[in-house]
Amino acid sequence: MRHDKILKILLGIGPVLMLGGCDAVLLNPSGDVALQQRNLIYTATGLMLIVILPVIVATILFAWRYRAANRKARYDADWDHSTRLELVIWSVPLLIIIALGSITWVSTHLLDPYRPLSRISADKPLAAHVEPLTVEVVALDWKWLFIYPEYGFATVNELAAPVDRPIRFKITASSVMNSFFIPALAGQIYAMPGMQTMLHAVINAPGEYEGMSANYSGAGFSGMHFRFHGLDQAGFDAWVEKNSAAGGVLDRAGYLDLERPSENDPVRRWAAVDPDLYRLILNRCVRPGTTCMSDLMQPMEK
């Protein structure tokens, strides 16, 4: 009996201890897009709890009131209908469904990852002259390549952006499908070979954040992580200078070598990158002599 009690105690406190080590970054994000998604989760959960909580309370009260030992509880065997009760049972869920449907429809358009940002945060609109930072993302086996066309350099497994500047990610993959995900920044979006997906986001607080693949892609998937740095403008300028001084050029031959599967890769940097490399990766024609997909899809001349 004593062992059984100990086991029950451990089963009770085990989940609490495990949850105590969680960062819960999804519920405390640092990017405006992720914050709006968090608020949407809160709103949807609150609306659903309007039904769930009363049902749980009513179940407990009914079980207690109409227990076999309670002789004072009235038993009405002939009761079978109440118009007022039916109105409550059907109208409340219907109103919740209408509210959830409306919120989901609006949020789906506002939080479309392809939609350019219209604000930096809830109290800071996007200035008309601000241009987004473009980052070209390539999911490799099993590492992430980031190309900064504005600055002409590339990195592996390290990403950075200035605080409060919109970011425009162009995302593709080299072989199998992956999922680009920085929980503190925005929701995940798939990276697929021969296709380009996009994500618009902004980081509102400086810090170091975890990035990952959220889609299983083979043996090295568990090590497919990277660091995303949210920096002030001076810190970002210093990071750009660090990469520009790294030396080396990522050309087509260098990319073909990088493309080979490898696990738990360290951060790597190239001071220069072939300006046409991302287009060649997207169209699957980096290797010389390969016909680009964009050429294959050209309409045939009559």
**302 pLDDT above the threshold of 50:** no
Judge residue 129's burial from the number of C-beta atoms within 10 Å of its C-beta, 0-12 exposed, 13-18 middle, 19 or more buried. Answer: exposed
Residue 227 has a pLDDT of: 96
54 within a domain of the structure (yes/no): no
Whether 138 and 283 have beta carbons less than 8 Å apart is answered as no
Domain span including residue 230: 120-287
In the predicted structure, residue 244 carries a pLDDT above the cut 70: yes
Least-confidence region, from 11-25, 42-56, 158-172: 11-25
> H or E element: which one contains 282?
helix 277-282
Whether residue 165 is contained in a domain is answered as yes
Classify residue 235 by burial, with Cβ atoms within 10 Å: 0-12, 13-18, 19+: middle
Sign of CA dihedral 188, 191, 195, 201: positive
Residue 104, in any domain of the structure: no
Query: Is beta strand 153-156 parallel, antiparallel or unpaired with respect to 143-148?
Result: antiparallel
What span, in angstroms and rounded, lies between the C-alpha atoms of 108 and 118?
15
Confidence of residue 2 (pLDDT cuts 50, 70, 90): low
Residue 142 inside a domain? The answer is yes
Comparing CA positions, the residue from 202, 233, 220, 180 lying closest to residue 121 is: 202
The candidate with the shortest Cα–Cα distance to 152, out of 241, 252, 280, 283, is 241
In a domain? residue 97: no
- Distance from C-alpha of 147 to C-alpha of 158, rounded to nearest angstrom: 11
| Domain-located, residue 154 | yes
pTM of the model: 0.83
Looking at residue 169, which CATH number applies to its domain? 2.60.40.420
pLDDT the model gives residue 21: 46
Indicate the number of domains in the chain: 1
59 in any annotated domain: no
The pLDDT of residue 160: 97
From CA 211, how far away is CA 193, in angstroms rounded? 20
User: Which pLDDT score, from 0 to 100, does residue 194 have?
Assistant: 93
Q: Is 52 within a domain?
A: no
Residue 179, CB half-sphere, CA atoms under 13 Å: how many? 13
* Structure tokens given for 260: 């080979």
Residue 17 has pLDDT above 60, yes or no: no
Mean pLDDT of the chain: 89
